[in-house]
């Protein structure tokens, strides 16, 4: 079986990455509807100050160290070992709940590692598409709290994850998958599971779909009412949506679309959730409109600056969850992505996956610490900033303070050997200096042919140099 799983991992990793590459060429949607609720607007503004978050994928898939959930879905782009019957594979996968016993579960370690990196908000996967709940749900026995971990005092995993991150002053987000492939109300075993969608005609089985809606609403209700203050409800599985909302953008994904509507009544879900959590940010991913309070391009950065709330969700390694021998991005690569994202008006949500025992891989902790060495010294140019009109020239990216009185420049010196920094577009106020943030050193600049120039000061910085100045208009 270990050999078979190894083959499976290779095939699925290839398929996921191929799919991600296809997604990368899709244009970023510019459809956005600002919320009308003042409490939501206020919380959204606070969230836009945070800029850098952690998304944690942790579930059954951590036990064998394979891609989250997708290996049990039967679509053409997913490959499995042909010697394993599909139904046998699903039984094996579901049976991992009898082996998932994370006796070293350490959310405090995760929160401290995130804080050391400079992260400010959390999105924790309470349930992925496979339906395995990482909280003590009363709606199903398929949860971390019902298997071998049930005797552990921390069996209600989500509670302790949220508590650990709150203690480190993180905003708290609950990831929740709208589809649930383990539920008989979604994947009914009367029929084959042909693809990611529910596998029966809802028009002919309205009772079953209504049961699924109640099941979904009740689980979200548990999360909103039983786990303390929640700031973000991050809903994944965008194919579960009203049929009328399927547009050209959705069709361009190439995913199968059923003839019926998979409407789970988002107005009720959002209203009930906000009764328990006033001002809650709701992120119904890819379903543009009043319940997508910010957009979430995945594994990519929009080509241009956007003037509404968004985040890029990206993995630190090659997978969302834990897989053995994953290759992690360097601290410099993560910082450079963070800088570009923030200058374009977004936030970076960086994905990590704890091991099956409940601890983070050592390499993840090391990499987060390395990232934090930069963010801690250059915080003013990132956190609490907003977009500025002239936000990019060459290796230079620009943000501004919320009051518009200060421009921050970030030069990706790891990408350029030049001893001089220069750019066109954002001009300092005449007679005012440029200040290096990490040393408070004042440097002189010149304006020649419409470009600002100053000599790169002596520095040990290898990733990105930050500086500030008063803009010409002030």
Residues 6+ away with beta carbon under 8 Å from 467: 408, 409, 411, 434, 435, 436, 437, 443
Instruction: Using a pLDDT cut of 90, give the percent of the chain over it.
Output: 86
As given in the structure block, the two tokens for residue 320 are 């969302």
**Is 461 found in the same domain as 362?**
no
Top-confidence residue, 472 or 155: 155
Longest CA span, the chain: 77
**Is 439 found in the same domain as 362?**
no
Question: Cα 373 to the chain's mean position, in Å?
Answer: 22
CATH number of the domain where residue 49 is located: 3.20.20.80
Domain boundary among 360, 384, 408: 384
**Is 374 found in the same domain as 418?**
no
Query: Are residues 367 and 331 in contact, defined by beta-carbon separation less than 8 angstroms?
Result: yes
pLDDT for 8 beyond 60? no
**Is 125 found in the same domain as 63?**
yes
**Is 347 found in the same domain as 262?**
yes
Top-confidence residue, 184 or 7: 184
**Is 350 found in the same domain as 221?**
yes
- Compute the average pLDDT of residues 276-300: 97
**Is 122 found in the same domain as 260?**
yes
**Is 398 found in the same domain as 365?**
no
Model pLDDT, residue 423: 96
Model pLDDT, residue 417: 59
**Is 415 found in the same domain as 341?**
no
At 248, the pLDDT band (50, 70, 90 cuts) reads confident
CATH number of the domain where residue 432 is located: 2.60.40.1180
pLDDT for 255 beyond 90? no
User: pLDDT averaged over the chain?
Assistant: 93
Which residues is 398 bridged to in the sheet?
409
**Is 377 found in the same domain as 406?**
no
Domain boundary among 330, 355, 384: 384
Model pLDDT, residue 365: 98
Assigned domain for 14 exists: no
Model pLDDT, residue 250: 87
**Can you give the pTM of this predicted structure?**
0.94
Q: Based on the structure, what is the number of domains in the chain?
A: 2
Domain boundary among 384, 406, 429: 384
Question: pLDDT per residue over 167-220, tens digit each?
Answer: 999 999 999 999 999 999 999 999 999 999 999 999 999 999 999 999 999 999
Residue with tokens 């050592």: 362
**Is 263 found in the same domain as 134?**
yes
**Is 404 found in the same domain as 304?**
no
Assigned domain for 346 exists: yes
Assigned domain for 293 exists: yes
pLDDT for 16 beyond 50? no
Assigned domain for 40 exists: yes
CA geometry: angle 309, 378, 162, nearest 5 deg:
55
Assigned domain for 11 exists: no
Which structural domain range is residue 447 located in?
392-469
């Amino acid at each position: 079986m270990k050999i078979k799983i190894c083959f499976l991992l290779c095939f699925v990793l290839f398929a996921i990455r191929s799919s991600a590459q296809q997604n990368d060429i899709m244009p970023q949607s510019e459809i956005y509807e600002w919320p009308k609720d003042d409490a939501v607007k206020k919380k959204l503004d606070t969230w836009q100050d945070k800029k850098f978050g952690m998304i944690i994928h942790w579930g059954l898939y951590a036990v064998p160290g394979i891609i989250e959930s997708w290996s049990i879905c039967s679509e053409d782009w997913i490959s499995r070992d042909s010697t394993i019957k599909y139904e046998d594979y699903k039984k094996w996968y579901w049976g991992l709940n009898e082996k998932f016993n994370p006796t070293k579960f350490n959310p405090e370690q995760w929160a401290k590692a995130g804080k050391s990196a400079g992260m400010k908000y959390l999105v924790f996967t309470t349930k992925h598409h496979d339906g395995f709940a990482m909280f003590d749900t009363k709606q199903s026995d398929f949860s971390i709290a019902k298997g071998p971990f049930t005797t552990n005092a921390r069996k209600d995993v989500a509670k302790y994850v949220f508590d650990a991150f709150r203690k480190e002053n993180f905003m708290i987000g609950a990831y929740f998958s709208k589809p649930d492939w383990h539920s008989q109300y979604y994947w009914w075993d009367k029929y084959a599971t042909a693809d990611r969608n529910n596998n029966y005609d809802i028009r002919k089985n309205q009772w079953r779909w209504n049961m699924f809606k109640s099941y979904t609403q009740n689980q979200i209700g548990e999360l909103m009412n039983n786990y303390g203050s929640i700031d973000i409800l991050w809903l994944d599985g965008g194919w579960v949506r009203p049929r009328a909302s399927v547009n050209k953008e959705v069709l361009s994904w190439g995913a199968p679309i059923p003839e019926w509507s998979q409407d789970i009544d988002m107005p009720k879900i959002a209203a009930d959730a906000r009764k328990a959590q006033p001002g809650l940010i709701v992120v119904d991913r890819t379903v543009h409109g009043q319940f997508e309070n910010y957009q979430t391009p995945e594994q990519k950065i929009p080509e241009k600056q956007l003037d509404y709330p968004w985040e890029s969700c990206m993995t630190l390694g090659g997978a969302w969850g834990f897989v053995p021998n994953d290759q992690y991005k360097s601290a410099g690569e993560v910082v450079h992505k963070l800088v570009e994202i923030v200058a374009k008006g977004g936030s970076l949500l960086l994905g990590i996956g704890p091991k099956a025992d409940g601890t983070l891989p050592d390499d993840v902790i090391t990499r987060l610490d390395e990232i934090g060495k930069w963010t801690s010294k250059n915080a003013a140019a990132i956190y609490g900033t907003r977009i500025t009109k002239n936000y990019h020239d060459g290796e230079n990216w620009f943000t501004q303070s919320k009051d518009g009185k200060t421009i921050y420049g970030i030069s990706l010196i790891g990408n350029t050997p030049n001893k001089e920094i220069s750019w066109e577009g954002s001009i300092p106020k005449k007679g005012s200096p440029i200040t290096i943030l990490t040393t408070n050193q004042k440097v002189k600049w010149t304006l020649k042919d419409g470009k600002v120039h100053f000599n790169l000061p002596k520095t040990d910085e290898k990733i990105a140099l930050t500086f500030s100045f008063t803009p010409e208009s002030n």
